Amino acid sequence: YAGTRFLKRGCNCKGDVANEVETEQIVHDSAVSSLHNGRFSSFVQMRGSVPGYWSQDISKMVPKPTISCVLADPFFETAGEHFNELLKRYGSPIIILNLVKKREKKKHESILSGEMYDAVEYLNQFLPLQHQIQYVSFDMARQNKGKTANVMGRLANIANNAVLKTGIFQSQEPYFNALKNLNSSGNLK
């Protein structure tokens, strides 16, 4: 049972998703005793509900409450609002790691996986290539089956690729100075 996160699902008409959590990992180099002279790095990630009109009926005591798409959004307007806000807040690239099951005997989570994929495909046709939403799907349950399953290794590769694309904040020279010395076209002066 997932607890109270079952109480709210999907998103509202403004694209605000349920269960949104932003996590920032800040690392300080303890070899330097002064906080003012120390070195810091930071990485931010965000998680939340699939941005669409869906819900689960939690009134019945069942292990997997039925997922219902409660309102059609053929032009993915709410997902568009959601990703537009993420682009304003974080810039690009926006990388989605979808951990929802893709294939099931009886469709359940895979309904949401399909909705998310369709939303990204639709929205990307309106975005310039450098700002397109990147979609990575990883069905952990399926990947964990088999004798040679290496789920943590595969997730580490996904995380490494995401960090290479998004970068991290780092307070040590020359990294932070490079950002200060960019000209208007985004090149180093």
Q: pLDDT of 34-62, one tens digit each?
A: 666 677 888 889 999 889 888 777 666 66
The answer to whether residue 169 sits within a structural domain is: no
Q: What whole-number distance in Å separates Cα of residue 56 and Cα of residue 7?
A: 8
The answer to whether residue 183 sits within a structural domain is: no
Half-sphere exposure of 125 (CA within 13 A, CB side): 7
The answer to whether residue 153 sits within a structural domain is: no
The answer to whether residue 19 sits within a structural domain is: yes
pTM score over 0.85: no
- Would you place residue 7 in the very low, low, confident or very high pLDDT band (cuts 50, 70, 90)? low
The answer to whether residue 167 sits within a structural domain is: no
The answer to whether residue 155 sits within a structural domain is: no
Residue 61 dihedral angles phi and psi, to the nearest 5°: -85, 85
Nearest alpha carbon to residue 141 among 115, 94, 108 = 108
The answer to whether residue 83 sits within a structural domain is: yes
Total domain count for the chain?
1
Contact 114, 101 (CB under 8 A): no
Element spanning 35, H or E: none
Please give the C-alpha separations between residue 13 and each of 79, 87, 119, 181, in angstroms, as whole numbers.
Answer: 9, 18, 15, 40
The answer to whether residue 61 sits within a structural domain is: yes
Whether the pLDDT of residue 85 is over 70: the answer is yes
Contact 165, 133 (CB under 8 A): no
Residue-number span of the structural domain to which 115 is assigned: 3-139
